[in-house]
Structure 1
Amino acid sequence: MNQSKYIFAAIVTFLLWGFFSFGLRPIATYPPLDILFFRLYISVLFLVTINVCFRQNKIKKDWKLFSSLEKKKKKRLISLVIGGSLILMTNWLSYIIVMNNISVQAASLSYLVCPIITTLLSFILLHDHLTKVKWIAIIISFIACIILSIGHFVDLMYSLIVATSFALYIIIQRSLNMFDSFNLLMTQLFVVSLIMLPFAFVFLGEIPTETIFYQCILMIVILFTIIPMFLNNFALKGIDSSTVGILIYLNPITNFLLAIFYYHEKVSFLQSIGYLLIFLAIIVFNSKTILKLCRAKK
């Protein structure tokens, strides 16, 4: 099978996410909760419209599958959907705070360490087996985080909240992978939009009147949420998870390069050492996959 179109879709997906700052930074003066509420409810509007108009067969198929399950399993899946949706909102809100109120570097760090944190949480929660190489990568990452925390402890904590929340979301998604991922996202966002509706009425500030706010929200919803979701679903049909595991780093690396060369954020000597150790940990963590891909090209 020719994988080029699937690999291209994956590359575009992760590069798009790498430019997420272009949607968030221009509205950094707005409260994070306002940005979250508008992103959530406009995303729900778009996703429900797309699914109802163009993906009814997928909805019916998933509903039929859910209806066929025994009562105990239905309750468990409902709990996972609700839990996953709340964790996703934690991730969205913390990422907005990190990107707009801390630094683009900190946002980049979140997704550099996220695959490693996901593996560690899978070991703790699901008792997945960890190889010695994975443990070495985890130890290197831990040392890097200690170095990065010097003088920037709060920044690091926010980064780890983003990374840990997304790692937990990924783990929950594994238990829900029997369903169409686009339908699943729509359901989770719809559920959490109902849960958060009372909070939106209480905490939402004045309705923004500036055009730039709505332009950025639409950019976030369409360019950084819906389109990447479609492309990611398509890519996963034609390439294995190990290839995706390598390509996913295009997102934080792009973000990191933008932080340094576009937003001109400063990097201290200690931070440089910390980031170098993070990149070393990533190479060690993915060494088996890298060697496999290199051999496949020969």
Structure 2
Amino acid sequence: MKNTKHYLAAITAFTIWGFFSLVLRPLQTYPSLDILFYRVFVSGGLMLLVGILLRRKVWTENRQHFAALSAAEKKGLLFQLFGGGLFLTANWYFFIYVTNEVSIKASAFAYLVCPVLTTVLAWAILKEHLSRGQWVAVLLSATGCGILAVGHLTDLLYSLLIAFSYALYLVSQRKNYGADRFLLLSGQILFSALLLLPFYPVYHGLVPVAGRFYILIAVIAVFLTIFPLWLNLYALKGLRSSTVGILLYINPVLGFMLALTVFGEKVDALQLSAYGVIVLAVVLFNWFNPAIRAQAAAK
């Protein structure tokens, strides 16, 4: 299959994020904003160190590449950089807050809504074509999300904040302007760090003293931020935003399973049936994906 590596990158990234709660929940006693501060600052510091020590040549090449772009392309690339950093910052805070202050099910639900929003935004903004079968899958997944929202309006509103911020990030990163993806990601995280820096002196809590806090933050920075985000950007080089958005369902399904089996959160028959509907929607969406069917027919 032509895009096998891109599919594997997306699947790996979303699988990793599906286990995020295992690392995030032990930090539940710390304020959500503090977790965000340290996550972004540590990630930004690591990315800056890697850039200085190992990627100076890439920086020089990309600076020359940027200078050669047209005015419209420069504007688009700058939007990917600064807009992407802004969307990521918002998504990270909402996810941390909902996971630790509301419920893991609510944060998992957000990433059930996200693929639907990503697909619709990609169709509306990027003019990505969807077949009739894929629109049926989108409507079916929306129905499943609607079932999950019954009796949980507050959770739905929190989930929509997470979903919309990440959907905007996915769509904003789809177009390829030729910039190095790892360098672009570095710029987004560093911009996020600069964005948060003025707020740290005013809004941070007590400086953590427990060694476990910093160990978990390091794990989050490297294995749950930098690595899966790089995989996600790599996947977007070969896959449409709508396809990556549908693969995102791996994340909430795993999150839901952890909420149920590890953290003992309650789930009723209505919620279980809704997840079944959404899984069916994922299967249908990929079945009616013209690229996948064409590749399968060519074998």
Relative to the length of structure 1, the TM-score reads 0.86
Shift of 1:297: 10
Q: Which amino acid aligns with 2:273?
A: I
Cα distance, 1:284–1:113 mapped onto 2, change above 3 Å: farther
Instruction: Give runs of aligned pairs for residues 78-157 of structure 1, distance below 5 A.
Output: 78-157=78-157
| Aligned equivalent of 1:292 | 293
Alignment partner of 1:194 is 2:194: yes
| Aligned equivalent of 1:63 | 63
| Aligned equivalent of 2:45 | 45
Superposed CA offset, 1:66-121 (max 9, x none): 11124454344324422221111111111111211222222222223322221101
| Aligned equivalent of 2:181 | 181
Distance, in Å, in 2 between the alignment partners of 1:9 and 1:78 is 25
Shift of 1:289: 4.2
| Equivalent pair of 1:39/1:220 in contact (CA under 8 Å) | yes
Shift of 1:57: 2.2
| Equivalent pair of 1:116/1:285 in contact (CA under 8 Å) | no
Relative to the length of structure 2, the TM-score reads 0.86
For residue 288 of structure 2, give the secondary structure of its aligned residue in structure 1. helix
Q: How many residues are paired up?
A: 297
Q: Which amino acid aligns with 1:161?
A: L
Distance, in Å, in 2 between the alignment partners of 1:71 and 1:293 is 37
Q: Which amino acid aligns with 2:37?
A: F
Q: Which amino acid aligns with 2:167?
A: A
Distance, in Å, in 2 between the alignment partners of 1:217 and 1:12 is 21
Cα distance, 1:137–1:42 mapped onto 2, change above 3 Å: same
| Equivalent pair of 2:140/2:277 in contact (CA under 8 Å) | yes
For residue 173 of structure 2, give the secondary structure of its aligned residue in structure 1. helix
Distance, in Å, in 1 between the alignment partners of 2:6 and 2:145 is 34
| Aligned equivalent of 2:158 | 158
Cα distance, 1:207–1:233 mapped onto 2, change above 3 Å: same
For residue 128 of structure 1, give the secondary structure of its aligned residue in structure 2. coil
Residue ranges of structure 1 left out of the alignment (5+ in a row): none
Distance, in Å, in 1 between the alignment partners of 2:207 and 2:195 is 21
How high is the sequence identity, in percent, across the aligned residues? 41
Superposed CA offset, 1:222-256 (max 9, x none): 1112233455567778x766986775443332222
Alignment partner of 1:264 is 2:261: no
Cα distance, 1:203–1:47 mapped onto 2, change above 3 Å: same
Q: Which amino acid aligns with 1:32?
A: S
Shift of 1:12: 4.1
For residue 196 of structure 1, give the secondary structure of its aligned residue in structure 2. helix
Superposed CA offset, 1:144-194 (max 9, x none): 233222221111121222121111111111235521221111111212322
Q: Which amino acid aligns with 1:292?
A: R
| Equivalent pair of 1:145/1:156 in contact (CA under 8 Å) | no
Residue ranges of structure 2 left out of the alignment (5+ in a row): none
Superposed CA offset, 1:37-74 (max 9, x none): 11111100001111221122222221111111244543
Superposed CA offset, 1:254-275 (max 9, x none): 2222111111211122222322
Distance, in Å, in 2 between the alignment partners of 1:277 and 1:148 is 10
Shift of 1:3: 8.7
| Aligned equivalent of 1:24 | 24
Cα distance, 1:153–1:215 mapped onto 2, change above 3 Å: same
| Aligned equivalent of 1:203 | 203
Q: Which amino acid aligns with 2:293?
A: K
Q: Which amino acid aligns with 1:210?
A: A
Cα distance, 1:213–1:120 mapped onto 2, change above 3 Å: same
| Equivalent pair of 1:27/1:212 in contact (CA under 8 Å) | no
| Aligned equivalent of 1:227 | 227
Moved more, 144-153 or 68-77: 68-77
Instruction: Give runs of aligned pairs for residues 238-277 of structure 1, distance below 5 A.
Output: 248-277=248-277
